Structure 1
Amino acid sequence: MHALMLTLALIAAPAADAPGFEARLKAATGPNQLLQLEKWCLENGLADERTRVREIIGKISLPARPSSDYAAREHARRLRDSAREQVELFLAERTTSVITGLSDIVEWMGGRSYAPLDARQRVLTVAHKLLDPASEQRKALEQAVADLPDAQRSATEAKSLHTQFDAKFKSVMRKFTEQMLTAVGKCITAGEAGYGFDLYRWLLQIDPDNEWARRGLGEQKVDGVWMRPYEVMRWREGLVWDGRFGWVPRQDALRARYERGEVYDLGLKRWGSLDELNALHANADTPWIIESEHFALHTTAELAKAAKYAERLEAFFLQAFRQYDLFFSGTGGTKLIFGVAPSQRRLKVYIYRDREQFVAHAKPPADWAAGFYSGAKKASYFYDSGGRFSTLQHELTHQILAEFAAGRGGHSPWVAEGAATFLENADFENDVLTNGGLERNWRVREYQKNVQSGAQEHPLKYMVDTFSPTGSWNQGEISKNYRGAAAVWFFLMNFDGGRFRGDTVQLLRDDYCSTLRQLDDYYGITPDGLTFLMDRYYRECMIE
């Protein structure tokens, strides 16, 4: 989960007492935050505390000579810092403005005894996204909306009031949106396209019909519905997406046949009963084939499950692009994530109806495998997991990274597995697939627990040295290797307030393209220094 998304979730949290030194020390996880803490100690006359901070800083070893592009990297970090700070400041300030605007709207509604359900819901949707459930401000606004009278009136008068309400609501949201678009621009300029995408998606949770956000994501409004360009193409072919059946004819008369148990098979180009076609496609030689924007899904699962899998694949694809945006910067990734450029390759995924069929036809490389990606065949293979998606998302990460790297080289096991474990537990929150934090990453939680209890886990330098491009991933205790990779990657993506996220994603790209440099070059810190910081991160720091 982006550090920004944690901010989005907490912008309206009730004010708390300013944290003291110990809390600040636990929150300072990298050199920049530690230097800021040292400055705070100096300003507040905390000499002993400042000494403690300086001792920690002194253990962060630096390279004998900085890399040739150190200045450029530090400039990029400052740009990213500025973009994140701008977004956080904007959100904090604009929340008050929007809530004030909503309160004015509620007062206007009360003065006219106008409170239809859809109008009340629009006001409350925004309030619920911006305000903490326990806040008095939210409770007061909810009560004010609940108390609104709604008088009977003529259709003409109701239409007029609806028009006025809509204009007032859009005016409030327009001011909010205009400043948010400025923040999005800063994110993209700073190379943080994923943050910009998150902002758009978050705005749509508040205001689902926001035209600026929809168009910013490359969507077009067709027949009253916002669609991505690929959906528009299918619409022009006479098809619309249905979460139960996949692509279906958009003519009402034809869609009515689905309610009677019939299905039009796009591959066979004929109608048939759902039971008959599910039975036919349960055979591994004649699977359902569902093409979506970025995937070609071949599956012997029932059609309803096939459609749900297709939706999950697309949601995960966007999540991978949001998290690893800079990986795709040279392949039109920003245009892809914002929906303004077509995908040049459709990824092949096979999902069998059960494990027996998976073993017989996919021939997994290990008896215990629940899924795998084959680089030789450029396809991923799984079986119906009954709603568990971690293996699917882990292997899809390998597939997306490998195929969008255009097969230009190998990669280090610690990098590949770290990147995959980071995304494997993504799940839906408010209808958007997100990574979550430490609470979702069970491998990292276990690593942290073991380190804090004194059990031996792989430190960062061991992972980097042992699992280089020539190192075997299968040596030693495999579960320990996975925990180590997960912990290293989680640390690199998040330490120092996420300041080095961009450098970590660039490392990922370079590794997959066989242009990996020394670790010092990416972070301006030696492997020993990073190992010290990571050990402190999991032993002593407050992480989310």
Structure 2
Amino acid sequence: MIASGALSPLAKGDELAAAVRRKFDSYRDKLKQLADWCESEGLADQASRTRAWLQPVAEDRLLIPILPAQIGGESPPDDAAPGVKEWYQKWMTLRRQQAEDLFSLARGAIRQGRAGLALDLALRALHENPDHEALRRIFGYQPYAGEWRTRYEVGRLRAGQIWDDRFGWIPKSQLARFERGERPADPRWISVEEDTRRRRERNIGWTVDTEHFQVWTDHSLEGAALVGKKLETLHELWSRLFVRYYLTEAQVLSLFDARSRSFAPQPVQHKVVVFRTRSEYNEALRSRAPQIEITGGMYVGDSRTAYFFFHESPDGADLEQALDVTTVYHEATHQLFYELGRVAPTAGQRGNFWVIEGAAMYMETLRREGDFLVLGGIDTPRMIAARFRRLQDGFYIPFREFTAMTMQDWQSDPRIGAVYSQAAGITNFLIHHDGGKYREALVQCLLAVYRGTDTPDVLARLTGRSFAGLDEEYLQYLKAMPPLPPMRLESR
């Protein structure tokens, strides 16, 4: 293979990462040229929009564009000035070409076993051309009534239902009555207050079904809908980042093969319970976790259910303020890994427990920034703590020892806070370092750990690096970051 000029997987990855950087650099130059042309034509607004269009290629975080549902998007009005129309045509031509180029790079990444990078590139391509049908199909969308919808959504819409962020899926014909504060109670309608009283007296609460979750709460209908929407966003990103955890290589390849019918897995609905108060949560789960008071949420594998609670909030406060969304994302990530794969009862008990918690801590960084959903970042709390522990506190457990730690080792370690910080830092490193060249190794490590097929040296084998080499790379990765803000952490 060496004689024939073939590259090793990591060398291919390095070459691919360089090609991606060149493509974005070239596109940025073209956008700058278009912005300069706009300014020369006196099109100040268009120049500003063009310059702001391309987000920088972030080295420390994933940027996932929020895609418009409407097909066709915006275009200049018929009475727009000729210069504005010309700018729009030039702008759209650049964007469509960039979409095709990124799609080509994505298919190349798939052939090299870089599924995570391929999906990143496909999403960035959709950001440029949201109506690219082949790209939309990869993510499970189909055209329906002038919008891009999933198969699940199309089924709901055809049944006469509509999604509302306050109420979940309800019959479209009933939306006005819901908005007036009425609720159905066959054979009549009652007030929100009466509905709340009845449900709490009978302990039946509210249930909101989404494509991938069934959320029950005794808080409110709005509370169930809020949690359902948050969890759907988490699922959307989790399913892209960890696609090779739950799909085979052949299934992923079929997604990018325009000649074949895309593989579309049937959605699995995960159960979630959100109690109205912490005291209810504590009482319901104390038998499962004697130290329930120190938890903010938990996933229970034998019942295949994630449990959370709403915090007390002042009257009139935003409902989101009463929800610890970081904990929701963390525990629901455990749920997704547990329920969408073949999980061995010994997962994490023979070592490599770091990767189970590391992945959950990474997903808890989910937030929105402008037109993008974001994961990771050197400025997230756990990542700042990881940098501080390693660079200023001098705390570090070498890879060989760290990967050998079991769940029991973690739970009994008096330095557990620092151990968690290191796992968060290592996970960010494996996902983002050098264009994400170790990202697929991380996913395959997760797969091995959850299936119970991992060995003490599984991470070294998957990355193609010795543990000592990973120790040094991780240190240099942290040192290359901007200076840390002033801070102080507990000694543990």
- TM-score normalized by structure 2? 0.76
Of 346, 360, 374, 1:420 maps to: 360
Q: CA deviation at 1:96?
A: 2.9
| 2:383 corresponds to | 444
CA distance in 2, matches of 1:448, 1:221: 46
Of 322, 346, 349, 2:240 maps to: 322
From the superposition, tell whether residues 485 and 164 of structure 1 become closer, same or farther in structure 2 (CA, over 3 Å): closer
Q: Does the Cα contact within 8 Å between 1:248 and 1:264 map onto a contact in 2?
A: no
From the superposition, tell whether residues 99 and 490 of structure 1 become closer, same or farther in structure 2 (CA, over 3 Å): closer
- 1:218 aligned to 2:126? no
State which drifts further: 393-402 or 172-181. 172-181
Q: Does the Cα contact within 8 Å between 1:318 and 1:337 map onto a contact in 2?
A: no
CA distance in 2, matches of 1:400, 1:343: 14
SS of 1:435's equivalent in the other structure is strand
**Residues 360-408 of structure 1: CA distance to partner in whole angstroms, max 9, x if unpaired?**
2243612211101111111110012524311111111111111112333
Of 239, 257, 264, 2:161 maps to: 239
| 1:360 corresponds to | 283
Q: Does the Cα contact within 8 Å between 2:218 and 2:276 map onto a contact in 1?
A: yes
Q: CA deviation at 1:82?
A: 3.3
SS of 2:307's equivalent in the other structure is strand
- 1:458 aligned to 2:384? no
Which amino acid in the other structure matches residue 485 of structure 1? A
| 1:293 corresponds to | 211
- 1:83 aligned to 2:49? no
Q: CA deviation at 1:198?
A: 2.9
Structure 2 unaligned segments of length 5 or more: list them. Answer: 1-5, 57-76, 257-261, 312-321, 484-492
| 2:118 corresponds to | 196
**Residues 58-108 of structure 1: CA distance to partner in whole angstroms, max 9, x if unpaired?**
xxxxxxxxxxxxxxx973333333333222221211233345457768889
| Equivalent residue runs for 1:376-391 within 5 Å | 376-385=302-311, 386-391=322-327
Q: CA deviation at 1:470?
A: 6.9
CA distance in 2, matches of 1:197, 1:128: 23
Q: CA deviation at 1:229?
A: 1.9
SS of 2:266's equivalent in the other structure is coil
From the superposition, tell whether residues 192 and 278 of structure 1 become closer, same or farther in structure 2 (CA, over 3 Å): farther
Q: Does the Cα contact within 8 Å between 1:293 and 1:314 map onto a contact in 2?
A: yes
| 1:128 corresponds to | 52
Q: Does the Cα contact within 8 Å between 1:177 and 1:212 map onto a contact in 2?
A: no
Which amino acid in the other structure matches residue 428 of structure 1? R
Q: Does the Cα contact within 8 Å between 2:208 and 2:215 map onto a contact in 1?
A: yes
Question: Could you say what the CA RMSD is over the residues aligned between the two structures, in angstroms?
Answer: 3.7
Relative contact order higher in (CA < 8 Å, ≥ 6 apart): 1
Which amino acid in the other structure matches residue 527 of structure 1? F
| Equivalent residue runs for 1:83-122 within 5 Å | 83-100=16-33
From the superposition, tell whether residues 382 and 223 of structure 1 become closer, same or farther in structure 2 (CA, over 3 Å): same
From the superposition, tell whether residues 383 and 93 of structure 1 become closer, same or farther in structure 2 (CA, over 3 Å): same
CA distance in 2, matches of 1:378, 1:175: 45
**Residues 252-301 of structure 1: CA distance to partner in whole angstroms, max 9, x if unpaired?**
xx332233222458xx7975433333444456831221111111111223
Q: CA deviation at 1:494?
A: 3.5
| 2:272 corresponds to | 349
Which structure features the higher share of helix residues? 1
May I ask how many residue pairs the two structures share in their alignment?
Answer: 434
From the superposition, tell whether residues 167 and 234 of structure 1 become closer, same or farther in structure 2 (CA, over 3 Å): farther
**Residues 101-122 of structure 1: CA distance to partner in whole angstroms, max 9, x if unpaired?**
5776888997xxxx9xxxx78x
From the superposition, tell whether residues 358 and 131 of structure 1 become closer, same or farther in structure 2 (CA, over 3 Å): closer
SS of 1:458's equivalent in the other structure is coil
From the superposition, tell whether residues 76 and 306 of structure 1 become closer, same or farther in structure 2 (CA, over 3 Å): same
Q: Does the Cα contact within 8 Å between 1:105 and 1:169 map onto a contact in 2?
A: no
CA distance in 1, matches of 2:301, 2:465: 34
**Residues 130-177 of structure 1: CA distance to partner in whole angstroms, max 9, x if unpaired?**
278xxxxxxxxxxxxxxxxxxxxxx98679999988766544432222
- 1:491 aligned to 2:429? yes
| 1:399 corresponds to | 335
| 1:310 corresponds to | 228
Q: CA deviation at 1:448?
A: 2.1
CA distance in 2, matches of 1:239, 1:303: 16
From the superposition, tell whether residues 541 and 101 of structure 1 become closer, same or farther in structure 2 (CA, over 3 Å): closer
Q: Does the Cα contact within 8 Å between 1:422 and 1:486 map onto a contact in 2?
A: yes
| 1:8 corresponds to | none
State which drifts further: 326-335 or 456-465. 326-335
Which amino acid in the other structure matches residue 375 of structure 1? G
| 1:371 corresponds to | 297
CA distance in 2, matches of 1:90, 1:227: 30
CA distance in 1, matches of 2:253, 2:283: 40
SS of 2:373's equivalent in the other structure is strand
Q: CA deviation at 1:532?
A: 4.1
From the superposition, tell whether residues 263 and 225 of structure 1 become closer, same or farther in structure 2 (CA, over 3 Å): farther
From the superposition, tell whether residues 156 and 488 of structure 1 become closer, same or farther in structure 2 (CA, over 3 Å): closer
SS of 1:313's equivalent in the other structure is helix
- 1:534 aligned to 2:474? yes
Q: CA deviation at 1:536?
A: 4.7
CA distance in 2, matches of 1:314, 1:271: 30
| 2:62 corresponds to | none
Which amino acid in the other structure matches residue 54 of structure 2? L
Which amino acid in the other structure matches residue 24 of structure 2? L
SS of 1:322's equivalent in the other structure is helix
- 1:506 aligned to 2:444? yes
| 1:145 corresponds to | none
| Equivalent residue runs for 1:324-343 within 5 Å | 324-330=242-248, 334=252, 341-343=264-266
Q: CA deviation at 1:512?
A: 0.7
SS of 1:184's equivalent in the other structure is helix
State which drifts further: 420-429 or 157-166. 157-166
Q: Does the Cα contact within 8 Å between 1:351 and 1:381 map onto a contact in 2?
A: yes
From the superposition, tell whether residues 124 and 277 of structure 1 become closer, same or farther in structure 2 (CA, over 3 Å): farther
| Equivalent residue runs for 1:244-263 within 5 Å | 244-251=166-173, 254-263=174-183
